[in-house]
Structure 1
Amino acid sequence: MVTVEDREIAVSNPDKILFPDISMTKWEWILHMTRLAPYLLPYCRGRFLTTIRYPDGVEGDFFYQKNAPSHTPDWIQTADAGSIRYILLQDTPTLIWLANLACLEFHPSFDYAEQPGYPPEIVFDLDPSVEGFDRVMETALYTREVLQKMGLDGWVKTSGATGLQVYVPIRSGYTFEDTRRISRLIAEYLTSRYPRLITVERSVSQRGDKVYFDYLQHWRGKSLIAPYSTRARRNAPVSTPLIWEELKPGLSPEQFTPEEVHRRLARLGDPFAPLYDPNHRYDLTDILNFIKQES
């Protein structure tokens, strides 16, 4: 039993190995998540949460959890969406309770439970079709160039797997339909400007070696790996916010292990902090008016 912010949480099988390649036990995993809580929680609060659970560690079976389990404590906040009762990851006790269930990945929704259908950012998911990270970084940098020409800017993070994700904070009141119009415009421009590098082809077998520019994932009812969530992969890589200047040859998403991320946060702070500043959000009105005039 541990006490976290006055909440008592039972920890089962603390010596169970969750990440065998680095011999990380459940207890070590819980300590890791406790240290990351101040950086993981700001993005997750108020959003519908999907987790991926690995009861026997990353080498065992797993399942997606959307519905709050029947044994969810009364103090954990939830929100209903259709037939699903989602957990809201509001605080550190909730995070540690989920960590004890071997929830190794945290995937929040793109919108808030209190304002469904109105995302606070536009998100692009960039995935390579072949091994190598350089082409993904190149695509991300071209994406930023386009955003800046439009009077916007983005913040970038690793997916924790093989790709990158770009976030553009926006003012409240825009729907997913609004953001889709803008993301489609950007996707069409990039694929026409860099046809040998970027594609919007959803079929993996049809992409060749091009980077998949996924703007369709950003939609109601969908989710994406949270900043600072660990991935259930070898070495427990963390989905890590980056500084744009870091996108250069030699960078690998696999280098962002839990301990490296803790050292990094102590040295650099959180590069995603501006995303949570209500005064640092972009107005999309002019861009939407331009698209309407051109259509």
Structure 2
Amino acid sequence: MATATKGTITVEGHDITITNPEKLLWPEKGITKLLYLEKLIALAPYLLRYCRDRHLTTIRFPNGIHGKSFYQKNCPEPIPDFVRLAPLDGIQYVHLDSLPTLLWLGNLACLEFHASFHRIGSELPAEWLIDIDPSLDYEPRIMQAVHLIGEALDKMGIHAVPKTSGATGVQLYVPIAKPYTFEQLRTIGHFLGRYLTEQHPKLFTIERLKKNRGDRIYVDYLQHWYGKTLSSPYTPRAREAASVSAPLEWSEVEAGADPRDFHLLNIEERLRTKGDLIAKSPLQSLDRVLSFIGQ
């Protein structure tokens, strides 16, 4: 439980100094730093689930979403005694495993949380993610595309959970029942991407260079790799809508959900009514499709 005194909050026995609590971070939504920290407390049980035991990259916006920003991989200094580190390849990543650490990062205006695809100490993926990336700033076909991908995965015997990136894209999140390699998952992703582009050549592409995609939607099976990151489930995003990366029900995809509809000011109510849709999803075996494509 948090208590506040003179610009300091005490959380789980640790004192965290809060600076500039009235600074507007999302001006269009009227979200100050203090309100942001309150929303992080509500998001913590869900966000920490997908950042714990991972190498964390944050994006910091010291003066709010319209100011300059920068990626933060190395842990900011000075480092409080309650913050744990996750070293990898010479970088001292933050191990985001507690509410005090989350609020400390929030006070530093870390507005986005991007976790590694693999757990600390492992070279194997913790789940499988396919990134669906529009080539247009506004893409009215995005949910239609996600629905078609869901149908293709169903034919492969794979159940995925769609989640908004919180920006313009959508990801397909597949909880896996046993360890697979990044190479195996990339092979399935390539197979899926080729199938979609053959079936719907005007809608999908697996062309990595944006300038060569036209208006087609990119099925990005390459991003899911060791050492790379993607927006974590339930991370806020530095967008005017104060959007949050939100798992969706398939019925919401079919109804054409808008990623901007899920944001810091309403995510608590959604979590109260729907819970964590990813955690509710059964773990998936990919053995059958790997066997089919000869892996």
User: Given the two structures, how large is their TM-score scaled by the length of structure 1?
Assistant: 0.93
Aligned twin of 1:92: 99
Distance, in Å, in 2 between the alignment partners of 1:250 and 1:211 is: 16
Aligned twin of 1:292: 294
Q: CA distance change for structure 1 residues 240 and 208 in 2, over 3 Å: closer, same or farther?
A: same
- 1:161-220 superposed Cα distances (whole Å, 9 cap, x missing partner): 111110111133211111111111111111111111100112222212211111111001
1:130 and 2:136 equivalent? yes
Q: CA distance change for structure 1 residues 146 and 28 in 2, over 3 Å: closer, same or farther?
A: same
The one-letter code sitting in structure 2 at the alignment partner of 1:274 is K
Aligned twin of 2:124: 118
State whether residues 134 and 248 of structure 1, in contact with CA within 8 Å, keep that contact through their aligned partners in structure 2: no
- 1:25-46 superposed Cα distances (whole Å, 9 cap, x missing partner): 1111101111111111111110
Aligned twin of 1:191: 197
Distance, in Å, in 2 between the alignment partners of 1:20 and 1:47 is: 31
The one-letter code sitting in structure 2 at the alignment partner of 1:232 is A
Aligned twin of 1:267: 273
The one of 198, 202, 213 aligned to 2:219: 213
1:103 and 2:110 equivalent? yes
User: Given the two structures, how large is their TM-score scaled by the length of structure 2?
Assistant: 0.93
- Gap runs ≥5 in structure 1: none
Distance, in Å, in 2 between the alignment partners of 1:155 and 1:18 is: 30
- Gap runs ≥5 in structure 2: 1-7
1:2 and 2:9 equivalent? yes
Give the secondary structure class of the aligned counterpart of 1:69. coil
Q: CA distance change for structure 1 residues 199 and 163 in 2, over 3 Å: closer, same or farther?
A: same
Shift of 1:289: 2.8
Give the secondary structure class of the aligned counterpart of 2:118. strand
State whether residues 147 and 254 of structure 2, in contact with CA within 8 Å, keep that contact through their aligned partners in structure 1: no
Shift of 1:119: 0.7
Give the secondary structure class of the aligned counterpart of 1:258. coil
State whether residues 133 and 252 of structure 1, in contact with CA within 8 Å, keep that contact through their aligned partners in structure 2: no
The one-letter code sitting in structure 1 at the alignment partner of 2:294 is K
Aligned twin of 1:240: 246
State whether residues 122 and 183 of structure 1, in contact with CA within 8 Å, keep that contact through their aligned partners in structure 2: no
The one of 228, 233, 236 aligned to 1:230: 236
Distance, in Å, in 2 between the alignment partners of 1:138 and 1:24 is: 32
Give the secondary structure class of the aligned counterpart of 2:104. helix
The one-letter code sitting in structure 1 at the alignment partner of 2:18 is V
Question: How many percent identity over aligned positions?
Answer: 46
Aligned twin of 2:77: 70
Give the secondary structure class of the aligned counterpart of 1:247. helix
Aligned twin of 1:39: 46
Distance, in Å, in 2 between the alignment partners of 1:100 and 1:172 is: 37
The one-letter code sitting in structure 2 at the alignment partner of 1:268 is K
State whether residues 133 and 251 of structure 1, in contact with CA within 8 Å, keep that contact through their aligned partners in structure 2: no
The one-letter code sitting in structure 2 at the alignment partner of 1:198 is F
Distance, in Å, in 2 between the alignment partners of 1:287 and 1:270 is: 27
Distance, in Å, in 1 between the alignment partners of 2:286 and 2:220 is: 20
State whether residues 105 and 229 of structure 1, in contact with CA within 8 Å, keep that contact through their aligned partners in structure 2: yes
The one-letter code sitting in structure 1 at the alignment partner of 2:149 is T
- 1:207-259 superposed Cα distances (whole Å, 9 cap, x missing partner): 12211111111001110011111111102111111101001355211111212
Shift of 1:262: 1.5
The one of 27, 30, 34 aligned to 2:34: 27
Aligned twin of 2:259: 253
Shift of 1:70: 2.8
Distance, in Å, in 2 between the alignment partners of 1:140 and 1:238 is: 18
* Farther off after superposition, 248-257 or 233-242: 248-257
The alignment of Structure 1 onto Structure 2 pairs a total of residues equal to: 288
Distance, in Å, in 1 between the alignment partners of 2:126 and 2:177 is: 7
The one-letter code sitting in structure 2 at the alignment partner of 1:163 is G
Aligned twin of 2:148: 142
Give the secondary structure class of the aligned counterpart of 1:259. coil
Distance, in Å, in 2 between the alignment partners of 1:138 and 1:72 is: 45
Once superposed, what is the RMSD of the aligned Cα atoms? 1.5
State whether residues 112 and 231 of structure 2, in contact with CA within 8 Å, keep that contact through their aligned partners in structure 1: yes
